[in-house]
A and B are shown apart, each in its own frame.
Chain A
Amino acid sequence: AQSVTQPDIHITVSEGASLELRCNYSYGATPYLFWYVQSPGQGLQLLLKYFSGDTLVQGIKGFEAEFKRSQSSFNLRKPSVHWSDAAEYFCAVGVNNQGGKLIFGQGTELSVKP
């Protein structure tokens, strides 16, 4: 069965520091992978997605993620974090490569220190 693991429940970084949020998935074929962000009281906003092709994908707000098949990972990165990036981040895999039926990880809450 497909699954997604986000090992870090909570991460704190200083403003201006780099960020990497980890995501590991379980799926036999090439997966559809997504990163969503959720600010308090808000819905989910798509940061970026991977379907195929170039394994380094660029998203909104300066985020990028790299698909590594050998490690079953899809880690999210940002070179310099801003205070407004504080939110919860969810990694997801498309069930049987569907774009909308998703299995989510448990989420990583990001706090940003001034």
Chain B
Amino acid sequence: GAGVSQSPSNKVTEKGKDVELRCDPISGHTALYWYRQSLGQGLEFLIYFQGNSAPDKSGLPSDRFSAERTGGSVSTLTIQRTQQEDSAVYLCASSPVGTKNTEAFFGQGTRLTVV
């Protein structure tokens, strides 16, 4: 597609349930990022995939959060045993290369509400 695609656009889940959020990056982009945007914390980096390298997980807030990227393309962010503080907009971005002289292109985000 023309841009980064995220699904679903909205997700309401019950506390304690697991959720999966999907990101389809721009075709050919080797780097993929997940961010979280919440009222209290602003925009926070979560995780970064670059090609076949081990992902940079330094921003994941707890071990309930994980992500994978299959075949170097689509990525799934999984939140286990969701808590109310996980309510946020989760943004995915991709870029043509992982470093240097390029910017990230963002998707529309998935708004997660934990009730």
- Known contacts A42-B108, A43-B108; is-contact A100 B95 (Cβ 8 Å): yes
B6-48, CB under 8 A of A: which get 1 and which 0? 0000000000000000000000000101010000001111001
Do the beta carbons of B107 and A102 come within 8 Å of each other? no
- Known contacts A42-B108, A43-B91, A44-B106; is-contact A51 B101 (Cβ 8 Å): yes
What separation, in Å, do the CA atoms of A36 and B106 have in the docked complex? Answer: 10
Q: Which residues of B contact A104 (CB under 8 A)?
A: 42-44
- Known contacts A49-B103, A51-B101, A106-B42; is-contact A100 B108 (Cβ 8 Å): no
Number of B interface residues in the complex (CB < 8 A): 27
Q: How far is the CB of B6 from chain A (nearest CB, A)?
A: 8
Tell me which of A43, A45, A99, A103 contacts B100 (CB under 8 A): A99
What separation, in Å, do the CA atoms of A103 and B44 have in the docked complex? Answer: 7
Number of A interface residues in the complex (CB < 8 A): 24
Do the beta carbons of B103 and A43 come within 8 Å of each other? no
Report the nearest A residue to B107, measured CB to CB: A43
Do the beta carbons of A99 and B95 come within 8 Å of each other? yes
Do the beta carbons of B100 and A100 come within 8 Å of each other? no
A61 on interface, CB distance cutoff 8 Å: no
What separation, in Å, do the CA atoms of A112 and B8 have in the docked complex? Answer: 32
Do the beta carbons of A34 and B103 come within 8 Å of each other? yes
What separation, in Å, do the CA atoms of A41 and B104 have in the docked complex? Answer: 19
Q: How far is the CB of A93 from chain B (nearest CB, A)?
A: 11
Tell me which of B42, B45, B95, B109 contacts A43 (CB under 8 A): B109
Q: List 18 A-B contacts (CB under 8 A).
A: A34-B103, A44-B106, A45-B106, A51-B101, A90-B43, A98-B100, A99-B99, A99-B102, A100-B33, A100-B48, A100-B103, A101-B48, A102-B35, A102-B104, A103-B45, A104-B43, A107-B42, A107-B43
Which residues of B approach A to under 8 Å, CB–CB?
Answer: 4, 31, 33, 35, 42-45, 48, 56, 91, 93-95, 97-109
